[in-house]
């Protein structure tokens, strides 16, 4: 059992010590809001992105993907409204001096989130990073680094629908970097200036019903509608289906996509009780949104936005039609010519998902006297570790051969240094689900010991069956104790 939940600072320290995340530019004092991902971090981040893409693109017949440029034509952001409306108000607390940003509508109402002190307005700012395109300064074109990936989907809408033969309803997904010159980047990688988004624009023709509602089953989620917030009520646990039927969630599509994202997190080991869906108040909605729900997570610093789900209607496509002067109607084989609506935009930051999976996986095991990172094997940076008990002779040779064979299919680690207990502890901290030990007996019986990270139980597996066993364990085709011959569990 976890002795206590860790704080965000403790998570940051752990991530630095183990090589998940480093402050960027630390050699020169650091650059606030920018982070570098180390050997374990890049593996975890890529696993998150791969799993999201598999779930939301490859496993669906109604979604296609794209990958847009980071530096985007300035007209894209004029049309989208980001130049005029993507504006925050910079404030500083008169008492504790903490700098932060508030929405325009909060001026005169908000107090310091740190100490409750009075806020001094410093001015408005647009968090888009600008750059110039062209080497000759006088001829260069002013441009922006994209503050969201989504807009590239709208700007490419004509090409996308011309080439991919999609029919409504359908989605377009994208993953990639986004940049915001945040006034006060803080809380580790929760609010960065450079981050990655995984976004999906889901297009329908007005009034189309969601044909997938039965997938929600009896799934319940804590809901906090704008009405509950405004009337001072508590949030309420409800079945997503019932929430839609009773009008708490206005569209079937919103209930459906909230459920899909929640399922994805839970299927990868996140704690169900730490999630809730909160509807934006009328005053906090983005300039493009008709209705927005956030999937929130109970981070150590409180409930915070993990992913946003905006109903953007036809705002973006209509704006691009107006500013470009070109038609963005698509030809649907059934409906004919139509400018569709984005009924829901599930938009998730990779860094926030990264924090959630680490926070829920982190466990200090007092018996083992070390941290055990119980990451879902799909996300674990290494799927297995190979450890020769004797670091020479035939034992070492067998281990090297096994390592080479496994690395053909999975990310694996090889560790010869220190006692076997130390090697297990290191692997546990890195989240490696299975450790393979080659011992004196392996030379004779051509079998190895496989140890399970979470239970420390051990099984004996023939070398010839090892690769398939790891594969079966990884894809949940077999339980650990059925994957080999159980042997007495050693502590370390």
Contact residues toward ligand GAP (CB under 6 A) are 148, 150, 180, 182, 191-192, 195, 197, 199, 305-308, 345, 347-349, 351-352
Calpha distance 284→287 (Å, rounded): 9
- Please, which residue, 43 or 182, has the CB nearer to ligand GAP? 182
For 184, the 3-state DSSP assignment is coil
Rg of the chain taking only CA atoms, in angstroms: 25
Tell the smallest beta-carbon distance from residue 292 to ligand GAP (Å): 8
| 3-class DSSP state of 491 | coil
Q: How far is the CB of 342 from ligand GAP (least distance, A)?
A: 10
Residue 289 and residue 249 in contact, taking contact as beta carbons nearer than 8 Å: no
| Residue 115: CB minimum distance to ligand GAP, A | 23
Q: Do 317 and 327 touch, CB atoms closer than 8 A? A: no
Cβ proximity to ligand GAP, 197 vs 226, nearer residue: 197
Nearer to ligand GAP, 351 or 415 (CB): 351
Q: How far apart are CA 295 and CA 171, in angstroms?
A: 19
Distance CA 222, CA 207 (A): 27
**Please, which residue, 321 or 351, has the CB nearer to ligand GAP?**
351
Q: Give the residue with the Cβ less far from ligand GAP, 199 or 415.
A: 199
Nearest to 172 by CA among 387, 342, 360, 379: 342
Q: What is the secondary structure of 105-148 as a DSSP string?
A: GGTTT---TTT-PPEEEEEEE----EEEESSSGGGPEEEEE-S-
Angle formed by the axes of helices 8-18 and 350-361, to 10°? 90
CB of 267 to ligand GAP, least distance (A): 19
- Pairing assessment for the beta strands 63-65 and 341-349 based on DSSP bridges: unpaired
User: Is the CB of 199 or the CB of 428 nearer to ligand GAP?
Assistant: 199
Q: CA 261 to CA 289: how far, in whole Å? A: 19
Q: What does the alpha-carbon distance between residue 489 and residue 452 come to, in Å, rounded to a whole number?
A: 10
For residues 145 and 70, the answer to whether their CB atoms sit within 8 Å is yes
Cα separations in angstroms, 491 against 28, 271, 369, 450, 451: 43, 27, 11, 14, 11
| Cβ atoms of 425 and 367 closer than 8 Å | no
Least Å from the CB of residue 238 to ligand GAP: 22
Which CB atom, from 54 or from 177, has the smaller least distance to ligand GAP?
177
CB of 196 to ligand GAP, least distance (A): 8
Q: Name the residue nearer to ligand GAP (CB basis): 183 or 406.
A: 183
Q: Of the two residues 180 and 451, which places its CB atom closer to ligand GAP in the complex?
A: 180
Do 176 and 199 touch, CB atoms closer than 8 A?
Answer: no
CB of 375 to ligand GAP, least distance (A): 20
- Which helix (H) or strand (E) is 421 found in, with range? helix 420-430
Q: Smallest gap, in angstroms, from Cβ of residue 182 to ligand GAP? A: 5
Of 284 and 472, the one with the shorter C-beta distance to ligand GAP is: 284
Crossing angle, helix 393-407 and helix 466-474, to 10 degrees?
50
Min dist. Cβ of residue 261 to ligand GAP (A)? 10
Q: In the complex, which residue's CB is closest to ligand GAP? A: 349
Q: How far apart are CB 376 and ligand GAP at their closest, in Å? A: 20
Q: Which is nearer to ligand GAP, 222 or 432 (CB)?
A: 222
State how far the Cα of 163 lies from the Cα of 185, in Å rounded to an integer.
Answer: 40
Q: Is the torsion defined by CA of 309, 319, 332, 63 positive or negative?
A: negative
Cβ atoms of residues 355 and 306 within 8 Å:
no
8 Å CB contact between 120 and 92 = yes
Q: Name the minimum Å distance from CB 150 to ligand GAP.
A: 4
Nearer to ligand GAP, 31 or 416 (CB): 31
User: What's the min distance (Å) between Cβ of 275 and ligand GAP?
Assistant: 13
Q: Which two tokens stand for residue 105?
A: 């509508």
């Amino acid at each position: 059992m976890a002795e206590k939940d860790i704080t965000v600072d403790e998570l940051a320290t752990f991530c630095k010590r183990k090589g998940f995340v480093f402050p960027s530019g630390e050699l020169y004092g650091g650059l606030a809001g920018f982070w570098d991902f180390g050997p374990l971090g890049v593996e975890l981040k890529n696993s998150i992105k791969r799993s999201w893409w598999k779930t939301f693109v490859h496993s669906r017949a109604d979604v296609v993907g794209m990958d847009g440029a980071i530096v985007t034509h300035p007209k894209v952001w004029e049309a989208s409204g980001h130049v005029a409306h993507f504006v925050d108000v910079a404030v500083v607390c008169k008492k504790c001096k903490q700098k932060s940003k508030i929405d325009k509508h909060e001026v005169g109402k908000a107090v310091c989130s740190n100490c409750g002190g009075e806020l001094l307005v410093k001015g408005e700012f647009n968090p888009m990073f600008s750059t110039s395109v062209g080497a000759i300064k006088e001829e260069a074109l002013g441009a922006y680094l994209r503050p969201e990936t989504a807009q590239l989907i709208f700007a490419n809408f004509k090409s996308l629908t011309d080439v991919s033969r999609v029919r409504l309803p359908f989605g377009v997904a994208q993953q990639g970097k986004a940049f915001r010159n945040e006034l006060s980047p803080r809380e580790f990688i929760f609010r960065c200036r450079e981050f990655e988004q995984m976004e999906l624009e889901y297009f329908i023709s007005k009034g189309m019903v969601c044909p997938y509602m039965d997938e929600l089953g009896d799934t319940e989620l804590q809901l906090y509608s704008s009405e509950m917030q405004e009337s001072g009520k508590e949030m309420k646990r409800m079945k997503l289906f019932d929430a839609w039927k009773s009008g708490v969630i206005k569209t079937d599509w919103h209930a459906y996509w909230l459920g899909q994202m929640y399922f994805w997190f839970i299927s990868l080991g996140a704690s169900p009780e730490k999630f809730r869906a909160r509807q934006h108040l009328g005053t906090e909605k983005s300039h493009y949104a008709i209705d927005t729900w956030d999937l929130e997570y109970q981070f150590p610093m409180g409930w915070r936005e993990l992913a946003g789900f905006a109903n953007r209607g036809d705002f973006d496509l209509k704006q691009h039609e107006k500013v470009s002067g070109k038609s963005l109607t698509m030809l649907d084989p059934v409906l004919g010519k139509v400018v569709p609506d984005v009924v829901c935009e599930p938009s998730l930051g990779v860094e926030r998902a990264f924090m959630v999976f680490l926070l829920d996986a982190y466990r200090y095991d007092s018996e083992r006297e070390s941290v055990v990172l119980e990451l879902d094997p799909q996300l674990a940076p290494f799927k297995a570790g190979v450890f020769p008990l004797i670091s020479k002779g035939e034992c070492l040779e067998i281990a090297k051969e096994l390592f080479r064979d496994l690395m053909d299919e999975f990310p694996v680690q090889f560790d010869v240094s220190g006692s076997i207990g130390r090697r297990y502890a290191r692997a546990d901290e890195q989240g490696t689900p299975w450790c393979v030990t080659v011992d004196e007996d392996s030379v004779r019986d051509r079998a190895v010991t496989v140890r399970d990270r979470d239970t420390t139980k051990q099984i004996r597996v023939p070398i010839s069956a090892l690769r398939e066993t790891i594969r079966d364990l990884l894809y949940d085709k077999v339980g650990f104790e059925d994957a080999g011959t159980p042997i007495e569990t050693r502590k370390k």
